[in-house]
Structure 1
Amino acid sequence: MKIYHLVLAVTLLFGSCKRTEILTRIDANTNTLDTVYTSDHPYNLNVVLFVPSDMVPNPDYERRISETLIYQQNFVKTWMQHWGHGDKTFGLLKNASNRVKIHVVQGNLPTSSYPYEGGESAMWQEITTYFQTHQKSSDHYLILTTVNKFGEQNAPYYGIGTKCYGIDFPDMEIANMSRTDTAGLASSWIGGNTHEMMHGLNLPHNGGLVSQNNLYGTPIITGNGGTFVVAPTYLDAWDCAVLSRGQVFSTTTRSDWYAGANAKITKLNARYDDATQKVIVSGRFSSNKKVDFIGFTNDAKRSAGDGNYDSENWVTTPIGLDSFYTEIAITEFKDRSNLQNDFTISLIHENGYRHWSSYSYQMQNGKPDIQFGDRPEYNKANWTIVAVSSEETQAESGQAVHLIDGDKTTQWVSRWSGASSTHPHFFTIDMGASKPVNRFTFVQRSGGSKPKNIQIQVSTNNSTWQNAGSYVLPDAAGPAYVTLPNSLTFRYFKVTISSATDGTQWAALNEVGTYQD
């Protein structure tokens, strides 16, 4: 009878950025080495096969999952090369037989305890416990839940941060994907697994540009990944720029992966040029970490929760150290009906951190009515907050002074901890001197409690007030502009908020400004 001893050794060679994990099964009689896992990457995707207590690992899982992962690895490499990033792809630990290192985690509970809705937390807790005594290779995880019979799946199936969840069925492999029997139907879920894996590797949804969809097919990160392998499927330049700065794509080590940066857009110009039918956006940014790419996203909002599946994404490199410029033809937009569009500018940093600023505009008769961008607002150096209904200073930094600090990333928030405030909310601002005004700018935040119904009052002495009108602000992040019926000259203005766009009882606003055309 043979006796096996299990020894785990991990070596990270920082000079060569090569990682070796040795999972050694030593025969007591022959002392033979069984398995060594290596990678040219210092960070590698943690592949987990999660097996609920009422399941057993599906037959031949190691070969099938390994072949799929290597296919996915090569798919990514192909598009990284296409978009000029060389042969980059995500790291995988493999042995001499080209089998990927798979962590098998035996669940403590039956399948019913890990449902699609609400089951992720329990599953992740057990996986976290497993990795307390097993070496992880990075901060990214692909978690495949074992389901022994096709059609009986009800497990987590989505991406959350650097984690992604998929399924492993019997006979699920690349070679079976074009078949029409049960094995083929089960294998078709590889496309969905790949879609979710891209989320776990940092990608948001992306519907692709019209021209690239015509050339290359369907982006893997739109829909459900159903075209993967069986029809033309691709990663676009934006996808590859984001991936290229991910931890498991790196060939060097660093200690600040995904750590936030003090980043912001400091200047923004945006317009639609009817002669060329292009949206033109330029500006400047600042950050205390290096920005490698500037990403742009346009998304027509058919509904509030459409998930950006049909968004258009493109990317440029910075001009110098702090500037950007891009043009995009509106023929690249898939939907030009009269919808609100969300426009996002992303600063993609060298450590993988992505800072984004969101704006909105309305499509009118097939043309973008772009109103966001810097306006000739009055300098706020001498502005002061005269009064405010409440401000949150305990649970977060929500002071009213953030409304006039010139920083669009800070915000005033009405008090919500302790004795919580309710509508109406208000703030009063002294501009330091009387000025002619016919325009107000309100910078909405990306979170909830955005002001909806507001009333503006103005005064020259903070005693006698004139009604300047009631207005409705949009439920969209970024600048919202209010035009007064007539230009008025005043020193003080008071904004009263009577409702929020999401129906909550609080108010939150990033910035307010005034100017005259």
Structure 2
Amino acid sequence: MKTFTYLLSVVVMMALVACSSDTPQPQPEPEKPEEPVSYNYTSSAKYNLNVVYFVPNDISERQEWHRRLSEILLHGQDFILKHMKAYGFGNKTVHLKVDEEQARVKITLVNGKYATSHYPSEGGGTKIIEELETYFASHPDEKDSDHTLVLMPVDNPDPGQRDIPYYGYGRYCFALDYNEMDVAYLKDEDERGQRATTYIGGLLHELGHALNLPHNKQTVSADKNPEQGTALMGSGNYTYGKYPTYLTRASCAILNNCQVVSTDESTNFYSEVSLKVTDIQAKYENSELKVSGSIECDVPVNQVCFYNDPATDNADYDAVSWSVAMDEGNTFSVSMPVNELFQRGNTPYVLRLRFCHQNGAISTYSYTYTFKDDNLLIEFGDKDYLDRQGWSIVDFSSEEAGEQATNVLDGDHSTFWHSRWSTNAASYPHYLTIDMGQSQTISGFTFVQRDGMRKVKDIEILLSNDMENWESQGSFVLKNINTAHHIELNQPGTYRYFKVIAKSAFDGQQFAAMAEIMCF
């Protein structure tokens, strides 16, 4: 029996061996490699924002980066569209190349040559731009405009954990990407949600800079309005998607002419322009600062923006803005209620007028006014100037060839007197002495600084009728702006000669420059 059982076992084993060797067994099919997804990016616009995912060689792309960033950009596109329509600029927003069916934005992946540490916040932006300009030169089809958003992956987005560029730089801007930067988290109340607001809002804030937008703050009434809230170009990166956040009309007026927002398909975007303010008037009436004027320009201006910036710091995040359309005949006027300003009391202001040319260029002129004990004192606007015909320069400390002292009397703001700098450079104090040809009653002085470097800061004014006996009218501080501003004397007086002694410069250097000096 045992022998039989053994033989039966051997036969079965042989049969199994024969079966396994002679009959092919089904094998699992090998996994097919994933085919790369193809996209059909299209846009009806000629110019589109360049979006670059820039990856240093010591880090990899973040999870689902293409989906997340596409959704963020489309979210921001809708945000801009909403406000452009609300202010009457039409169905305009930033142009993107998009695969509409798959909801993906064209984002160009560029591998950096170096590790993240090579691209720090300080100076790293310039290094990235250099690499991207080289990339675009060899891939010209990847560059669709003059405006570029650069995104860099990080492990941890918190400022203390990363050192990468995060700012606007000309028509480039830099922001970051991390695994949980997703519009799906914008409404969340936890830390993840606040991070999403901060960094998605931050991305759109920096993009605003690349689209030509300066900082500005909401008005007092907008701050309380649930339909407006915080201006994106102020501190809106801390409120975007969670609390009311909006674009000001001034921001939209500038975007209206931006190359990647405008519907214009011309090729002269940002070409050089010339603009002169031929008349400027200002008054404080019915609790409003009213400014009007006229211009001459070679490229049409369609909007004028007014940025009221408290001159209590070097930042412009707190500049409250208005904007108006240019009137016929190249004239403009605006009324700005001062109760819309957050800072009054005793606060000096710089008022920047930004003239928006149709080709996207912006001409900026700066003026000043001051609140003293809540009263507004206007320090600009045309005066009843004394006729300077017959005036002459009778003495000066030094001058540079081609930048002579007589330029302060020629009526041309583009020419200027400059102290000697090419050889044996002269140092402060510098001075000019002017003969008005006859005695005239003087109530004050108007100065136009050079539109550039070497603006004079501290001066003393002296008056005389014989160039021997001089009466000091006091020491004054000029304005660090490029337009006419006034100094009122304590009381009018009748004199023939005046001397302006320059004692220091805003840039702290030894040189002085001045475009025009007038009296009223």
Cα drift, residue 338 of structure 1 = 0.4
Partner Cα separation in structure 2 for residue 224 and residue 499 of structure 1: 39
The aligned counterpart of 1:8 is: none
- Between the two proteins, the alignment pairs up a number of residues equal to 476
The aligned counterpart of 1:282 is: 292
Partner Cα separation in structure 1 for residue 340 and residue 463 of structure 2: 44
Contact 1:380 1:406 in 2 (8 A): no
Cα drift, residue 236 of structure 1 = 1.5
Amino acid in the other structure paired with 1:262: S
Cα drift, residue 181 of structure 1 = 6.0
Higher strand share: 1
3-state DSSP of counterpart to 1:208: coil
Cα drift, residue 176 of structure 1 = 1.9
3-state DSSP of counterpart to 1:321: coil
The aligned counterpart of 1:380 is: 388
Residue 153 (str. 1) matches residue 165 (str. 2):
no
Contact 1:179 1:185 in 2 (8 A): yes
Contact 1:473 1:480 in 2 (8 A): no
Contact 1:453 1:470 in 2 (8 A): no
The aligned counterpart of 2:337 is: 329
Higher helix share: 2
Matches within 5 A, 1:106-125: 106-125=111-130
Cα drift, residue 356 of structure 1 = 1.4
- Map Cα deviations across residues 295-317 of structure 1 (whole Å, 9 max, x no partner): 111112222x1x21111111111
Larger radius of gyration: 2
Amino acid in the other structure paired with 2:473: G
TM-score, L = length of structure 2: 0.86
The aligned counterpart of 2:204 is: 194
Percent identity of the aligned residues?
36
| Cα separation, partners in 2 of 1:345 and 1:182, compared to 1, 3 Å | closer
Contact 1:391 1:413 in 2 (8 A): yes
CA RMSD of aligned residues (A): 2.3
Matches within 5 A, 1:345-494: 345-393=353-401, 398-445=403-450, 447-460=452-465, 464-477=468-481, 478-494=483-499
The aligned counterpart of 1:301 is: 311
TM-score, L = length of structure 1: 0.86
The aligned counterpart of 2:19 is: none
Contact 1:358 1:446 in 2 (8 A): no
Unaligned runs of 5+ in 1: 1-31
Partner Cα separation in structure 1 for residue 60 and residue 423 of structure 2: 50
The aligned counterpart of 1:229 is: 241
Amino acid in the other structure paired with 1:191: G
Contact 1:56 1:148 in 2 (8 A): no
Amino acid in the other structure paired with 1:494: K
3-state DSSP of counterpart to 2:356: strand
Amino acid in the other structure paired with 1:169: Y
Q: Say which is worse superposed, 162-171 or 477-486, in terms of deviation.
A: 477-486
The aligned counterpart of 1:139 is: 146
Contact 1:47 1:103 in 2 (8 A): yes
3-state DSSP of counterpart to 1:213: helix
Cα drift, residue 213 of structure 1 = 2.5
Cα drift, residue 496 of structure 1 = 1.6
Residue 47 (str. 1) matches residue 59 (str. 2):
no
Q: Say which is worse superposed, 497-506 or 103-112, in terms of deviation.
A: 497-506
Unaligned runs of 5+ in 2: 1-35
Contact 2:459 2:478 in 1 (8 A): no
Contact 1:170 1:183 in 2 (8 A): no
Contact 2:464 2:497 in 1 (8 A): yes
Partner Cα separation in structure 2 for residue 293 and residue 77 of structure 1: 18
| Cα separation, partners in 2 of 1:487 and 1:85, compared to 1, 3 Å | closer
Partner Cα separation in structure 1 for residue 414 and residue 241 of structure 2: 42
Contact 1:150 1:182 in 2 (8 A): no
Residue 240 (str. 1) matches residue 252 (str. 2):
yes
Contact 1:172 1:184 in 2 (8 A): no
Contact 2:230 2:236 in 1 (8 A): no
